[in-house]
Amino acid sequence: MRLAVFGAGRIGAVHAMNATAIPGVEVVHLVDPVADCDALAARIGARRSDAHDALSDDLDGIVICSSTDSHAELLLAAAERGLAVFCEKPISLDWPTVARVTEAVEASGIRCMLGFQRRYDPNFRAVRDRIASGQSGRLEQLVMHTRDPGPPPIDYVRRSGGMLRDQAIHDFDQARFMCGEEIATVYAVGNCQIDPAIGKAGDIDTLAVTMLTESGRMVTMTNNRRGPLGYDQRLEAHCAAEVLFIDNCPQTDVRIAGPSGQLTAPPMDYFIARFEAAYRAEMEAFAAWLQGGPAPLAGIRDGYEAQRLAEAAIASIATGQPVDLRGGWQP
């Protein structure tokens, strides 16, 4: 199975290495006009190419982890050529483009998987499966915390689409995934409490969101660009029969105890380490799908809906009012 990987940055390197490690998968092209990726290309046995040469080759699929402003064009190119796609979120920073590309990809019938890696994390997957099985009873309230160790560079803030479309979109996706139904209303508040430069760049660094699903389940999100705990990633699912928790994953499981109390290792330092197994599992799922296996846990429509929630939260922050998504609300 022949793949081309677009983007050789931090997440691109992860996906390229994971794809190459799968038996029967070959990354034949590595495309990045900016990054110095000769060492990565040599390590995975790929050829450094431009987009035209890669897309003109005999490929089975492409992996899109380049800058967000390139996602839409590459998705459309894959749809025109009938290529399977794994694409990192978001689809685009421009909502009309998100809608147009989603419709085009679905109309083409190509296989398209979105990179919501938390769906493949063993802990998140176990909680979702237990809720879906009915063993926990009806899910009534879902609480999620996502806090980065520190603010990203301002240049990244400007091109990433902001906190809602970049970081919090994973929580919006989990809201739909855990609840197993669509969100009806979104109310959000957000401001800058950490880095004034983020505010000057037109973004926020502190966020709280309350949502109701169509059947009345409650979802609460708190997001922050600075976490004293390090990478702070927790979830609580309050169900009729039990409460399910996902705590931070420590760097080691060693506890040190003495007369003054106990110490545990700090959480994993960032998302690459925290979700290492999830990134590996989602690429394995993509490869299996192309080889006739089951459909993945997240498709392009999931990317569309998660971003629609992000856009609704942005609108709610701007107006100070909740947004009702019922009836097909559009940004």
Q: What's the first-to-final CA gap in the chain, in angstroms?
A: 39
Residue 220, strand partner residues: 143, 210
Q: CB of 202 within 8 A of CB of 162?
A: yes
**Positive/negative CA dihedral, 179, 180, 186, 189:** positive
Residue 323, classified by CB atoms within 10 Å of its CB into exposed (0-12), middle (13-18) or buried (19+), is buried
Largest CA distance in the chain: 67
C-alpha closest to that of 283 among 77, 1, 9, 20: 20
The pLDDT averaged over each successive group of 10 residues in the chain (331 residues) is 96 97 97 89 95 96 95 97 97 97 98 98 98 98 96 91 95 98 98 96 97 98 93 96 96 94 90 95 98 97 98 98 96 93
